[in-house]
């Protein structure tokens, strides 16, 4: 098994890493990995280049496609002569990065706090979409919910076991906000349920991104995870990903840095930053997050390395 830190990954490492190698690489990077979200069917941030390429150029190590219909896997910005079924392959080669997708375990009985947003079947978390994610070549899936979709912690919990039976890559699970549902987003008890079900990465809100969730709440979960991981192989360990996915991904850079440092100090192994600014994260905020949690040296090395390596 390749035990490189993700900080030292070349494009060829991202494109060939097996799931557990990627997981170990994140762990070995000690809280300095950045996952960036984007909606691949939204308008382009810059003409002539895909949003994923922009995010990679700003410092993304991992890219998560959001609101993507896996039965129509179109990515805006890919050359027009590339068929939809080959879009992901092209993006992976163009960015030289690990690419995943958000799938949503909808709860039709959820106690909604707002009007429900109906989504296409290709965005639902089902055996069919897990298998499609394998077929397309995604490196990871994230079981979570967009605003108003009606995803609950119970349906995420149920989906984890099903996903493990079908999907071959890393499985991330948890809520970064309410997803339109009137329930607690995350606490230690919720975290324990997901961990016991065998996830690879636990998604939790970043401090300051939802009400009633602060640094101490993250630390409580992180302390439990550290103890849980003792003596285990990487296959059975759980990593923590904090998520800034409640529109604060488009806050000023000082806020981005504060959230990033609080997440790292609180025990996050990797950090997510969202796509609320027109389906892409502002490049300057990806840069600011990288500057805060890994410094100029590692930030520039990751950006400067050619995909030929």
Q: Determine the pLDDT at residue 167.
A: 99
pLDDT for 110 equals 67
The reported pLDDT for the residue numbered 291 is 97
In a domain, 225, yes or no: yes
Query: Which residues in the chain belong to E strands, given as ranges?
Result: 33-38, 62-65, 98-103, 140-143, 170-173, 201-205, 239-244, 270-273
User: If you count DSSP H runs as helices and E runs as strands, how many of each does the chain have, helices first?
Assistant: 10, 8
Within a domain: residue 98? yes
Quick one: which H or E segment has residue 287?
helix 283-304
- Domain assignment of residue 40, given as a range: 6-304
Note the pLDDT of residue 305: 93
Interval 231-243 mean pLDDT = 98
Number of structural domains the chain divides into:
1
Reported as a pLDDT band with limits 50, 70 and 90, residue 232 is very high
For the chain, the residue count is: 309
Closest by alpha carbon to 49, among 69, 73, 79, 93? 79
- Position 246 scores a pLDDT of 82
pLDDT of amino acid 19 = 98
Residue 69 covered by a domain: yes
Specify if 96 maps to a domain: yes
What's the pLDDT band for 296 if we cut at 50, 70, 90?
very high
Q: What is the pLDDT of residues 191-219, one digit of tens each?
A: 999 999 999 999 999 999 999 999 999 99
Q: What CATH number is associated with residue 32?
A: 3.20.20.70
Say if 309 falls within a structural domain: no
Q: What pLDDT score does 6 carry?
A: 98
Q: Are 216 and 187 in contact (CB under 8 A)?
A: no
pLDDT digits 0-9 by tens, 242-286: 999 988 999 999 999 999 999 999 999 999 999 988 899 999 999
Tell me the per-residue pLDDT of 109-166, one tens digit each, with 9 for 90 and over. 766 677 677 889 999 999 999 999 999 999 999 999 887 788 899 999 999 999 999 9
* In contact, 72 and 84? CB cutoff 8 Å: yes
Classify 104 as helix, strand or coil. Answer: strand
pLDDT digit string, tens, across residues 38-90: 999 989 999 999 999 999 999 999 999 999 999 999 999 999 999 999 999 99
Residue 94 above 70 pLDDT?
yes
SS3 95: helix
Spatial separation of the C-alpha atoms in residues 285 and 288, rounded to whole Å? 5
Residue 210 falls inside a structural domain = yes
* 154 is a domain residue: yes
């Amino acid at each position: 098994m390749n035990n490189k830190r993700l900080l030292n990954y070349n494009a060829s490492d991202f494109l060939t890493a097996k799931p557990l190698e990627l997981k170990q690489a994140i762990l070995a990077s000690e809280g300095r990995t950045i996952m960036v979200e984007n909606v691949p069917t939204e308008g382009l941030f810059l003409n002539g280049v895909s949003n994923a390429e922009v995010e990679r150029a700003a410092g993304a190590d991992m890219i998560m496609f959001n609101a993507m219909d896996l039965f129509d896997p179109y990515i805006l910005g890919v050359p027009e002569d590339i068929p939809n079924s080959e879009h992901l392959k092209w993006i992976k080669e163009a960015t030289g990065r690990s690419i995943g997708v958000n799938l949503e375990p909808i709860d039709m009985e959820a106690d909604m706090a707002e009007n429900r947003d109906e989504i296409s079947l290709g965005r639902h978390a089902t055996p069919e979409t897990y298998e499609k994610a394998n077929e397309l070549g995604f490196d990871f899936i994230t079981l979570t919910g967009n605003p108003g979709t009606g995803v609950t912690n119970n349906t995420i919990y149920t989906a984890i076991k099903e996903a493990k039976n079908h999907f071959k890559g890393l499985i991330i699970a948890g809520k970064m906000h309410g997803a339109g549902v009137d329930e607690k987003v995350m606490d230690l008890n919720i975290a324990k349920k997901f961990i016991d079900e065998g996830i690879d990465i636990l998604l939790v809100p970043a401090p300051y991104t939802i009400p009633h969730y602060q640094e101490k709440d993250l630390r409580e979960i992180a302390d439990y995870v550290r103890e849980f991981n003792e003596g285990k192989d990487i296959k059975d360990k759980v990593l923590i990903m904090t998520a800034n996915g409640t529109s604060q991904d488009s806050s000023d850079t000082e806020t981005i840095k504060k959230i990033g440092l609080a997440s790292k100090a609180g025990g996050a192994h990797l950090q997510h930053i969202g796509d609320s600014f027109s389906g892409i994260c502002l490049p300057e905020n990806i840069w600011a997050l990288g500057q805060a949690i890994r410094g100029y040296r590692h930030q520039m090395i990751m950006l400067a390395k050619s995909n030929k390596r």
